[in-house]
Amino acid sequence: MMKINRLTLFTLGLVLLSGCHDEDPSSVVTPPIVTPDVPAVGAPAMDPSGRIFTTRIENNTAGQPFSTPLVLEHNEDYSLFQFGMQASVPLEHLTEGGDNQPLMDTVSDEDDLFNAVEGSGVVAPGSYQNVMLMPGSTHITVAGMLVNTNDAFFAQKIDLSSLAVGESIHFEAPILDSGTEDNTETALTIPGPAGNGVGFAPQRNDVNRITVHRGVISQQDGLVGSVLNATERFLNSPAKISITRVD
């Protein structure tokens, strides 16, 4: 197994965030847009109305950093996953290691997926991040990993088509288990700062189907070998996503 190089940035990112409490965490970032060399079949032209949306991702956990958020722009037919089915390998990279790149690379292969936009970095517990979008598509999916877990992630598919200027919609995204890695919670298998272990591992040693996550057990609840404690627990939907159309 090999660590994802991007995961080594998690702890550094959190240290930097912890030293910058006086800065405004709501500053809007406009990450570079990833586009395929050849447009996907059926890809829409850029919306001539020039719609602009702000996507806000809030981390309401006590001790679970979110990986860099990923926003996929697509039509109604695209789905990042299906409950009860196995995760794709690109999704496994995100859910085990917080690595967005394999999913971003699928833009050129998926007829119903048109674009991918990353946020600016880790979303620390108790903070939020804004990502500005100008989609020509009708739907987006927002996703990210809870990095102090084995393979927990949040994902929310959102319909933008009827949102008027000035309107907002809000979601509490479910926390899901990709089913690709056993939830041992050991330091070796936790890629976030609680463990600094391995991220993506190609073998699948869990149920190999996507389900709602049962939550962190932790050493305090008797899971022998767990590197996690009560701080990393989540018992509800700690990821809040808000979409506002600003133009």
Select the more confidently predicted residue: 189 or 22: 189
The whole-number pLDDT of residue 22 equals 41
The whole-number pLDDT of residue 201 equals 92
The whole-number pLDDT of residue 133 equals 95
Question: How many whole angstroms separate alpha carbon 96 and alpha carbon 200?
Answer: 5
pLDDT over 50 at 98, yes or no: yes
SS3 per-residue string spanning 126-168: CCEEEEEECCCCCEEEEEEEECCCCCEEEEEEEECCCCCCCCE
Provide mean pLDDT across the span 114-119: 97
The whole-number pLDDT of residue 190 equals 96
CB of 96 closer than 8 Å to CB of 180:
yes
pLDDT band for position 195 (50/70/90)? very high
Provide mean pLDDT across the span 202-223: 89
The whole-number pLDDT of residue 15 equals 37
CB neighbourhood size of 193 (10 A): 18
Q: What is the pLDDT of residues 25-48, one digit of tens each?
A: 433 443 333 333 333 333 343 444
Pick from 236, 231, 190: nearest CA to 213:
236
pLDDT over 50 at 172, yes or no: yes
Provide mean pLDDT across the span 139-156: 98
Select the more confidently predicted residue: 240 or 2: 240
The whole-number pLDDT of residue 222 equals 78
- In the predicted model, what is the mean pLDDT of the chain? 84
pLDDT band for position 220 (50/70/90)? confident
The whole-number pLDDT of residue 7 equals 44
Q: How much of the chain exceeds pLDDT 90, in percent?
A: 71
CB neighbourhood size of 43 (10 A): 21
- Burial of residue 154 (number of CB atoms within 10 Å: 0-12, 13-18, 19+): buried
Beta strands in the chain (DSSP E): 28-29, 33-34, 53-59, 70-74, 113-118, 128-133, 139-145, 152-159, 168-173, 175-177, 211-212, 239-245
The whole-number pLDDT of residue 229 equals 87
CB neighbourhood size of 207 (10 A): 14
Q: What is the pLDDT of residues 49-67, one digit of tens each?
A: 589 999 999 999 999 999 9
The whole-number pLDDT of residue 223 equals 86
pLDDT over 70 at 12, yes or no: no
Which alpha helices (H) appear in the chain, and where do they start and end?
9-18, 89-97, 101-105
Q: How much of the chain exceeds pLDDT 70, in percent?
A: 80
Classify domain 5-245 at the CATH superfamily level. F-spondin domain (2.60.40.2130)
CB of 193 closer than 8 Å to CB of 8:
no
Q: Look up residue 222 and give its DSSP letter.
A: T
